[in-house]
Amino acid sequence: METVDKGKVDPGRRAMTDALGRRISYLRISVTDRCDLRCRYCMAERMQFLPKNQVLTLEEIALLADLFIARGVRRIRLTGGEPLVRRDIVDLVRRIGRHLGGGLDEVTLTTNGTRLAQHAQALADAGVRRINVSLDSRDPDRFAHVTRGGDVRTVVDGLNAARDAGLSVKINMVALKGINEDEILPMLHWCNGEGFDLTLIETMPLGETGEDRTDHYLPLTQVADSIWRHHMLTPLSHRTGGPARYHAVEGMTARLGLITPLTNNFCADCNRMRMTCEGKIFMCLGHEDHVDLKTAFREGGLDAVEPLIDRALRLKPARHDFRIGADAPPAAVRRHMSVTGG
């Protein structure tokens, strides 16, 4: 297996720098478009999923990850859909995790937590040190409404298992006007008591979900102002590789992250690309442009893939164009968030 010295690009390959000079060091890999929940801001109630022959095998994902690491990717996050519904997902984590300390700084996971109780210890043993868990409400009825039928108790069980396994946990909460805005401050207090960090996310216009996002859009500038009435927020230099900007919260050890694709665009220092489970590289979450690695890989191997990575770097746009409101289209792009990966 090919490895590189930590912090260096394989000398036989070019570093991943886009046309605007941004260094791409973070790859998010969706391992499946399937999920066992149907969150209203993410998916339609009735989804059509990809046939298995269109989805990359775990071995193909691992080999492509090897190549990206050789090109200078330092962080890999596995996403979905829900990554833990993919059979043998821990084998993939273990396979990618062999690069830790030899080019890769970390392999992480974003999950809805419903199957975390079954996998937390194995993930830790495979090299995962921190995870993001999506949790938009702790109220059982409200959680069931947002997820279209989910049971919040399975997520709580997963969080307890993750903590027992020694995993660092960050809760991801999409701020939804009229649905969970009254839970945001209580969620922050709860996370502080549990030893978790909390990141709040503005809802993004991705895919047709059957819901009017305008009704539920809650600007995080407004949320931060409401938190300020109770706790002073101090900006931190702490970063985890993604778009969240973190704040210390007066009187708490929990850090508060804010992801603000609509109120405070963060594209100028974007360091990310996304690979879908069918091998498409999307250079930006908010654009349809992509390159197809799967076809090239299956026909010509890794040598055929490298020129496409270079093409993706050249085509990476300056920024997304997310808008929500009466004069905006229902979705910026047709594909659902679950297709591209969080």
Q: 69: exposed, middle or buried (C-beta count within 10 Å: 0-12, 13-18, 19+)?
A: buried
Contact present, 277 and 50 (Cβ < 8 Å): yes
Q: Is 284 annotated as a binding residue?
A: yes
Is position 337 annotated in a ligand binding site?
no
**For residues 146 and 40, what is the distance between their CA atoms, to the nearest angstrom?**
6
Q: Which residues contact 300 (CB under 8 A, 6 or more apart)?
A: none
Q: Is 170 annotated as a binding residue?
A: yes
Q: d(Cα 309, Cα 304) in Å, to the nearest integer?
A: 10
Q: Residue 273, annotated ligand binder? A: yes
**Is 191 annotated as ligand-binding?**
no
Cis bond leading into 242, ω under 30°? no
Tokens (6 digits) for 322: 């997310």
What would the two tokens of residue 232 be? 């002073």
Distances (CA, A) of 203 to 4, 136, 183, 218, 242: 38, 11, 16, 8, 16
Q: Is 267 annotated as a binding residue?
A: yes
Query: Are 244 and 202 contacting, i.e. CB atoms less than 8 angstroms apart?
Result: no
| 41 annotated ligand binder | yes
35 known ligand binder: yes
CA gap 275, 282 in Å, rounded:
6
Has 277 been labeled as part of a binding site?
no
d(CA 102, CA 114): 32
Is 323 labelled as part of a ligand binding site? no
87 assigned to a ligand binding site = no
Residue ranges of the annotated binding site for S-adenosyl-L-methionine are: 41, 81, 134, 204
Residue ranges of the annotated binding site for [4Fe-4S] cluster are: 35, 39, 42, 267, 270, 284
Residue ranges of the annotated binding site for GTP are: 28, 77, 110, 170, 272-274
Residue ranges of the annotated binding site are: 28, 35, 39, 41-42, 77, 81, 110, 134, 170, 204, 267, 270, 272-274, 284
